[in-house]
Amino acid sequence: MAEKVEKDSKTLPHPTRRNWHWLTIQFMLRLIFTFWLRYRARGIEKVPEDGGALFLINHQSFLDPLLVGLPLQRPVSYLARDTLFPVPVIGWVLRNTYVMPINRDAASTASIREAVRRMAHGFLVGIFPEGTRTTNGSVGEFKPGFVALIRRAKVPVYPIGIAGAHEAYPRKKLLLRPRKVYVVFGDPFTDEEIAALSKKGQEENLVEEARKRIVACQEEAEAWRVGELSS
């Protein structure tokens, strides 16, 4: 297994150094999001400077991958349909911002293998356990597929909550609206918690606990966004 990881790692970019494509996009988006969305994030000091980790994030809009990666000094890998990669402009952005192409016909196994490979290489990997964007801003039910990823990856797991992105860029809207968007990075699960919650036959407990923590982060972000919490 170690030889396989070492061999695979040679085809992957450095997990903590952002390439110039992402640095440029990140700089431009920081200007746009700070001005237009009054974007803010807290808890980023909890994210390790190196080593693999898994982000569990609520899904409010197509902006979410950018919103989570924006304040960090290292890249985050996400999954995207492989059919998007040949698309002009979109494909170029995906190829140069650490996105993992996944064939939907084999997504259940291929996505887990690729995500584990990247985390073993030292990448931060972000997933959205809801599986789809919210229709009303609240956190929906979770699909249990991420439990297998947690079991195999054996890396720190962080809950992250986004608030305001649904209002800024909801479904079926083409233009970005000027709304406050805040992000909260929560405390990671401890090794003991993951070991206890991810035992065979206890998948429901891990799904429930992960959702509970993401909801807490999302509610904190929302309270901060509307002025109920100080900076």
Q: Report if residue 198 sits inside a domain.
A: yes
pLDDT band at residue 132, thresholds of 50, 70 and 90? confident
**Domains in the chain: how many in total?**
1
* 8 A C-beta contact, residue 143 and residue 206: no
- The pLDDT, as a whole number, for residue 10 is 58
In the chain, the DSSP E strands lie at 40-42, 53-57, 76-77, 79-81, 100-102, 124-127, 157-163, 182-185
| 172 compared with 36, residue with greater pLDDT | 36
Q: Report if residue 169 sits inside a domain.
A: yes
In the predicted model, what is the mean pLDDT of residues 17-32?
92
Q: Report if residue 77 sits inside a domain.
A: yes
CATH number at residue 101: 3.40.1130.10
Q: Model confidence over 71-111: pLDDT tens digits? A: 999 999 998 878 878 877 778 888 888 888 877 665 568 78
Domain extent, residue 205, equals 2-225
Q: Distance between CA atoms of 75 and 98, rounded to whole angstroms?
A: 7
Q: Report if residue 231 sits inside a domain.
A: no
Q: Report if residue 230 sits inside a domain.
A: no
Q: Report if residue 212 sits inside a domain.
A: yes
Instruction: Give 160's strand partners.
Output: 57, 185
